[in-house]
Amino acid sequence: MDEFAFIDAIKQHTYKQPSIIKGVGDDAAVFRQSAQDIVTAVDTFVEDVHFSRATMKPFHIGYRTLAANTSDLSAMGAVPAFYLVSIVIPESWNEDELKGIYKGMAELGNTYKMDLIGGDTVSGKELSLSITVFGYVNRNKARYRNAAKPGDVVFTTGTLGDSAAGFFMLTNPGEYIDKAFYYRRHRMPSINADFASELEFLPRLALNDISDGLANEASEIAEASQVSLTVYEEQVPVSTHFGQFRDDQQFKWKMFGGEDFELIGTVPKKSWEDVKQIADLTQTQVTEIGHVENSDDSGSDVFLVDRGQTKKRLEKKGYTHLKQVKR
């Protein structure tokens, strides 16, 4: 299949977003939006660094790579709208596999009414995907990491460590409980776009998506806001059968595992009940895991109160995008 036939095979022929004027088919896409702010993000994913055919089908690769970008929009409080995909295609990938990647993206896109409006296709030595997403948020309502203040509640959505557990299961075959759940959490993560956008009415809210691990994302909020965060280990939410793994694995995955694409946020205590109400409305699990404090002379830190009630600095580490790790 040549480039033009491939583009025709994966392009949308109708669009869900009313603001689209011209989608795939010209040198560039055109959309018009005057009443809201536009939020955009881009990520690049490389085979055998960010994903592997050993643990994922092409459908899952497409779904999860778009989910990772869409989660960035959620962390900004934006409603997803469009995406662009540039793909480098090696000879080792066939036509059906490539179509599978786009089908995975379309599955997630249909869930959130996102339109594929363009991109690029080139040949190369290894498969890579560069995805740009666009979302809308009402004017001056985008959420930033620098909004945390002392006294705020620290919370997370969902359960943490599931994606890392699913990856472990896929790469270490054995007898496990609830394999399908953990596989799905790794391959097809949930996105909290509805929950985040419904919090628009709150006067102050800091958000970050948990793509690189709880410790990393909490540190980013602390540094941006020039505060310190205290997290209680026993309050960090985990899934029902997470206890089947060793204690050291549980700790590592829920603190540093990453790729759960849940949200961590801070909100004034007086707004915490509002957050829980929106969580109920959008069927989102939320858990209070700590609080915000003034930073000390050593700088903006994240502290962990462990199960023995010992308070210690939580090291800022987790998944890094320049580390050569097969996912």
pLDDT digits (tens, 9 = 90+) for 146-156: 999 999 999 99
Strands of 311-313's sheet in order across: 206-210, 262-267, 153-157, 286-294, 227-232, 302-305, 311-313
pLDDT per residue as tens digits for the range 101-133:
999 999 999 999 999 999 999 999 999 999 999
Residue-averaged pLDDT of the chain? 91
Domains 3-138 and 145-313 are alike in CATH topology: no
Q: Which CATH class is domain 3-138?
A: alpha beta
The length of the chain in residues reads 327
* pLDDT tens-digit series, residues 70-90: 999 999 999 999 999 999 999
pLDDT of 298 strictly over 80? no
- Helix axes of 95-111 and 58-75: crossing angle, nearest 10 degrees: 30
> How does residue 96 score in pLDDT terms, banded at 50, 70 and 90?
very high
What pLDDT score does 19 carry?
81
- pTM for the full predicted model: 0.89
Residue 315 CA to residue 313 CA, distance in Å, equals 6
**Calpha distance 209→236 (Å, rounded):** 15
More confident residue, 69 or 325: 69
Tokens for 20? Answer: 């689209």
Tell me the domain boundaries of the chain.
Answer: 3-138, 145-313
Q: What are phi and psi of 96, to 5 degrees?
A: -65, -40
Cβ(136)–Cβ(79) under 8 Å? yes
Name residue 209's beta-bridge partners: 263
CATH topology of domain 145-313: Phosphoribosyl-aminoimidazole Synthetase; Chain A, domain 2 (3.90.650)
